[in-house]
Structure 1
């Protein structure tokens, strides 16, 4: 049972890490706490549901479509909302992000209603390794999430565009001085964050429910993860996601499933009381 719960924790941690990665990229580069990221995650799930269930297209087509739609939506949020507020007091970004969150939820609820929906998975196989049970969808979540994390790492380290993103994160003034286009970097960062959120939602939707408020708890835990891992740290987002995922799965089984959603916040208080800067104080900041 320990290994089974550890597998569940790896599944949860993969999704949390994927969502937190996009959030920490935006915060590390633009210093914008994008509370609307949870709504983008929710929109990604609904777009996938719309493409796959209502139009009968392939699961992978739905995932790609959701990724593109949410990436474009994320860029529009940056251009139309966050960019005009770049010289405003920091509180304005937070209020604007909450406004986007409420607006997107209202639009989705107006079109699809507030009912809970379930998106089917095309992968219903169940693998057995001794006494360990591994559903194919959970295996897909783990492999897909870590593949995306690896692809993002290679993109940031091996491409010129990725290098400009890292440069902006490390030193904004220095990046301006060497001629890096801040607008282009901001748009690219929001697009990547939106794409990761949509893919994470599509991976997780078949084992979860799809509903307008589904992004609330995910975004709260994503913020816990990036604070826990170190604000703006990409390794911290991945490790923090896994820590929260394992803690929830194991704590929910061995302690109480009723309080499993509180475990992330208890862990946050415990770790920050020992290391106030988070686990990773260096990296992409």
Structure 2
């Protein structure tokens, strides 16, 4: 019975129910081609949600609101370095990862050393990044994705699945290994479950927490590159839609906002569920404002049901 009540089981059942609903409303919604498209978009959300998952696991009300800004700035950096050339993919990847890690480091240092609340720190960072985008771009799109990157994201590769889906699977395996088989993963859980106890047993809490934000920045940077490949070029605030969605995907997957327990497998299922839901709302011709309202209401409902638990951890 506990298995049936697990958030992953519930989310998986809801995914199937939504697919059936979508097929009923619009025949062909659950076709193989459409499912492939849904998985590509789910992978984009799932990759940024990996970093969000880590920050939330670390507790202390950790939520990274800057992920959308990091995605947007990474797409801009990657697009301008590549500028349509395959030779620019590797330099763009290195530059984007470096930028993501840098902004994540600033977030982590602000939260740990300056003791700025995570919501305030990451929201401030989001404002800085959005302002930087306005100054650099001046409202003019710039940069192009390399053809190989576009094919990697959108074209079938191994077993008729695009490369981005295989990348997402690899990230899922990496996250499982990190969280369940490494000392670092145990420390992430420890500081989220009970920070004073973790400190007493020798865990360097501040440095461990900084790493969480660095990882979040790097996953956001990878997402920015993948979105660049998906769309072909960068545009203003391309990452904005992923901020709230990444949080909901994590909570849907069974990781409470209190931190200390959970995992990435459920987050992957949660990402698929959100994308399928969004696709159904689009099929029903519900505007973006309506979709955002539904996403916000979904998050509030999840918090009420099981997102924050009975006792928040310090």
Q: TM-score, normalised by structure 2?
A: 0.73
CA distance in 2, matches of 1:240, 1:139: 20
The offset of 1:85, in angstroms, is 4.3
CA distance in 2, matches of 1:201, 1:126: 16
Matched, 1:62 2:85: no
CA distance in 2, matches of 1:262, 1:195: 31
CA distance in 2, matches of 1:201, 1:242: 19
Q: Unpaired runs of 5+ in structure 2?
A: 1-27
| Cα separation, partners in 2 of 1:72 and 1:247, compared to 1, 3 Å | same
| Cα separation, partners in 2 of 1:269 and 1:73, compared to 1, 3 Å | closer
Matched, 1:77 2:107: yes
| Cα separation, partners in 2 of 1:237 and 1:53, compared to 1, 3 Å | same
The answer to whether the 8 A contact 1:75-1:191 is kept is yes
CA-to-partner distance for each residue in 1:237-261, whole Å, 9 max, x for gaps?
2221110112223443x423x5367
| Corresponding residue for residue 8 of structure 1 | 37
| Corresponding residue for residue 155 of structure 2 | 135
Q: Could you tell which deviates more after superposition, 115-124 or 178-187?
A: 115-124
Q: Could you tell which deviates more after superposition, 160-169 or 100-109?
A: 160-169
CA-to-partner distance for each residue in 1:153-202, whole Å, 9 max, x for gaps?
21222222222222222332221111000122112111111111111111
2:128 to 103, 109, 116: 103
SS at match of 2:38: helix
| Cα separation, partners in 2 of 1:272 and 1:229, compared to 1, 3 Å | farther
| Cα separation, partners in 2 of 1:63 and 1:249, compared to 1, 3 Å | farther
The offset of 1:264, in angstroms, is 6.6
CA-to-partner distance for each residue in 1:124-176, whole Å, 9 max, x for gaps?
8989xxxxxx6249812211122112112212222222222222223322211
The offset of 1:219, in angstroms, is 0.6
Matched, 1:163 2:186: yes
RMSD value, Cα: 3.2
Instruction: Select the structure with the greater relative contact order (CA < 8 A; seq sep ≥ 6).
Output: 1
Matched, 1:50 2:80: yes
The answer to whether the 8 A contact 1:226-1:237 is kept is yes
Q: TM-score, normalised by structure 1?
A: 0.80
| Corresponding residue for residue 21 of structure 2 | none
| Corresponding residue for residue 224 of structure 1 | 248
